[in-house]
C-alpha cells in the first residue's frame, strides 16, 4: 500500500488551470487579487496550525499509550513537517522578492 503525500493539498493550494485569452486580456484589479492572496495565505496558515495541533495531540496520545495505531501519529507529524517546510519556503521567496524590488533603481 502506497500513501502519497501532496504538500500543496495540505496548505490548501489548488493547481492552476490553463489561461484562456479572455482571462489574460483583461488585467485584474489590485484589490481583488490582493484580497484573494491574503485569504489564501490566511487559510494556509490556519491549515498549518490545524495540522500541527493534530500532530501534537496524536503525539501525546502515542506517548501516554492511548493511541492504537502509531502510524497515524507518524503520518500527522510528517504532514505537519512538510507543510511547515513549504510555508517557510514561500515566506523566504516572498522576502527575497521584496528585497529584489527594493533594490531596483527608479
d(CA 57, CA 64): 11
- Full pLDDT tens readout for the chain, 106 residues: 555 555 556 555 555 455 444 444 445 455 556 678 889 989 999 999 999 999 999 999 999 999 998 999 999 999 999 999 999 999 999 999 999 999 997 6
- Whole-model pTM? 0.62
Q: How far apart are CA 49 and CA 24, in angstroms?
A: 35
- Extents of the domains making up the chain: 33-103
Angle between helices 70-103 and 30-64 in degrees, nearest 10: 150
Amino acid at each position: 500500500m502506497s500513501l502519497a503525500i501532496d504538500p500543496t493539498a495540505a496548505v490548501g493550494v489548488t493547481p492552476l488551470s490553463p489561461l484562456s485569452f479572455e482571462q489574460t486580456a483583461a488585467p485584474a484589479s489590485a484589490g481583488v487579487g490582493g484580497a484573494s492572496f491574503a485569504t489564501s495565505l490566511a487559510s494556509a496558515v490556519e491549515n498549518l496550525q490545524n495540522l500541527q495541533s493534530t500532530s501534537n495531540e496524536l503525539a501525546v496520545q502515542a506517548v501516554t499509550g492511548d493511541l492504537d495505531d502509531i502510524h497515524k501519529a507518524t503520518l500527522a507529524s510528517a504532514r505537519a513537517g512538510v507543510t511547515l517546510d513549504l510555508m517557510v519556503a514561500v515566506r523566504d521567496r516572498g522576502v527575497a522578492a521584496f528585497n529584489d524590488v527594493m533594490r531596483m533603481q527608479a
